[in-house]
Homo-oligomer: A and B are copies of this chain.
Amino acid sequence: MKAKREALVSLFTAMREGKVDEDIIDLLLLINSIRGIYTTSSCSGRIGIIEEPALGAKPLSRWLIKVHREMTFPEAKKALEKAREGLIFLKSQPPIFHVVAEDLEKAKRLHELGLASGFKYTTFKVISNRYLVEINATEYLTAPLGRDGKILVSDDYLRFALEIGNSMLRRSKGRLPRLMKNFEKLREELGEDELFYELAGEFGVRF
A residues lining the B interface (CB < 8 Å): 55-56, 87, 104, 107-108, 111, 122-126, 134, 139-144, 147, 152-154, 156-157, 160-161, 164, 167-168, 171
Cα separation A125 to B108 with both chains bound (whole Å) = 8
New contact pairs (12) apart from A55-B139, A55-B167, A152-B156, CB-CB < 8 Å: A104-B126, A111-B125, A111-B126, A123-B123, A140-B140, A141-B144, A142-B143, A143-B143, A143-B161, A147-B160, A152-B157, A157-B157
Cα separation A90 to B6 with both chains bound (whole Å) = 43
Q: How far apart are A58's CB and chain B's nearest CB, in angstroms?
A: 8
Q: How far apart are A51's CB and chain B's nearest CB, in angstroms?
A: 14
Name 30 A/B residue pairs within 8 A (Cβ), A-sorted.
Answer: A55-B139, A55-B164, A55-B167, A55-B168, A55-B171, A56-B139, A87-B164, A104-B126, A107-B126, A111-B125, A111-B126, A122-B125, A123-B123, A123-B125, A124-B124, A124-B125, A140-B140, A141-B142, A141-B144, A142-B142, A142-B143, A143-B143, A144-B160, A144-B164, A152-B156, A152-B157, A152-B160, A153-B153, A153-B157, A157-B157
